[in-house]
Amino acid sequence: MEGYFPPGSQTPPRRHTRYSEQLYVLEGESTVWAGENKVMLGAGESFFIPIAQLMLLPHSSKSQLADYSLLPLVPLHA
């Protein structure tokens, strides 16, 4: 899934209870909050968000559009 976030926007706080997520920044820069972790990501950087982890994606840059690729990582059960 790919999403664009204009400057100053953010996602609502949320958590995924059935899968983890890998966030990859395609363009721009933004902050990622996942539990107690806060990281600033730029284009080409990624961040792993574990299952059931509370997360928030504020787009802190005032001048650039952030372009994210989100990859759900669904556990496989034998």
User: Residue 70: what pLDDT?
Assistant: 65
pLDDT tens-place string over residues 19-77:
888 888 887 787 889 999 899 888 889 888 888 999 988 876 666 666 666 666 666 65
Domains of the chain: 2-73 (2.60.120.10)
Q: Which of 48, 66, 55, 76 is nearest to 8 (CA)?
A: 66
Distance, CA of 49 to CA of 34 (rounded, Å) = 7
pTM greater than the 0.85 cutoff: no
